[in-house]
């Protein structure tokens, strides 16, 4: 039976890579699908991975109606067996409901991929609706890592090297070295998110002459004993 599956995680955990692999695997079996994305880092109507892979996709705007798109394809004789929906956190709640309807009434598998929470640790409306309606919510198996080496669980917004916790929910950026005046994102473990300790802040602390090595705010990795 068809399913609505939501693959979720932080930035940098391989969501888009898995989306591309899922499409490849299904196409190799002779199935026909449609790819969707929204506000991809590579530009409009492109589904891209940080590994350098990319493919054309349909851009999801707030006005797009998934039901109308798929029915239009079927009306023109094109078979649609599955949908790949990347950047699902940017979809509206109504669009997620349209996807659920396609699963239930047309028997089309929907594989959605998205970030669960924003830089304020609040659920994206699209992600929330996916969690509420999906047949399965699947955490990504590839773990993104905080600068300290522990599992990253939070997405931090960085501006001019400083972590910010206020502003619009959606500001497109990417993970990478912070640049002046440019919004970037960094994945952090909960401890360092709560302490606003980005990798930039940690480097600044480590090089401060008044800071001794045992004063650094480091998370002990599993199996290690925290310094006392």
Are 217 and 208 in contact, with CB atoms under 8 Å apart? Answer: no
DSSP 145: B
Buried b / exposed e along 85-118 (16+ C-beta atoms within 10 A): bbbbbbbbeebbbbbbbbbeeeebbbbbbbbbbb
Which residue, among 172, 91, 84, 102, has the nearest Cα to 130 in the 3D structure? Answer: 91
CA 119 to chain centre: 12
CA 118 to chain centre: 10
Is 105 a catalytic site residue?
no
The secondary structure of the chain in percent helix, strand, coil, rounded to multiples of 5, reads 30, 25, 45
* Annotated catalytic residue, options 44, 87, 97, 166: 87
From residue 35, alpha-carbon distances to 27, 78, 97, 120, 154 in Å are: 12, 14, 17, 29, 27
Rounded distance between C-alpha atoms, residue 155 and residue 162, angstroms: 14
Tokens for 29, please give them. 């079996």
Residues taking part in catalysis: 87
């Amino acid at each position: 039976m068809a399913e609505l599956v939501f693959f979720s995680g932080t930035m940098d955990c391989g969501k888009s890579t898995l989306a591309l692999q899922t499409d490849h695997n299904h196409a190799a079996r002779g199935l026909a699908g449609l790819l969707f994305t929204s506000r991809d880092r590579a530009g409009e109507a492109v589904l891209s991975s940080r590994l350098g892979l990319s493919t054309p996709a349909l851009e999801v705007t707030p006005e797009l109606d998934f039901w109308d798109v798929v029915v239009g394809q079927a009306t023109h004789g094109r078979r649609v067996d599955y949908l790949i929906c990347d950047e699902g956190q940017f979809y509206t709640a109504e669009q997620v409901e349209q996807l659920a309807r396609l699963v239930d009434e047309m028997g089309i598998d929907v594989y959605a991929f998205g970030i669960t929470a924003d830089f304020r640790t609040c659920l994206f409306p699209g992600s929330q609706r996916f969690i509420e309606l999906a047949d399965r919510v699947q955490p990504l198996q590839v773990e993104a890592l905080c600068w300290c080496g522990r599992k990253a669980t939070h997405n931090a917004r960085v501006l001019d090297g400083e972590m910010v916790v206020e502003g619009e929910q959606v500001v497109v950026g990417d993970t990478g070295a912070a640049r002046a005046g440019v919004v970037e994102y960094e994945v952090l473990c909960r401890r360092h998110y709560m302490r606003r300790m980005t990798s930039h802040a940690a480097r600044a602390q480590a090089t401060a002459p008044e800071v001794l090595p045992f004063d650094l705010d480091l998370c002990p990795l599993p199996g290690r004993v925290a310094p006392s």
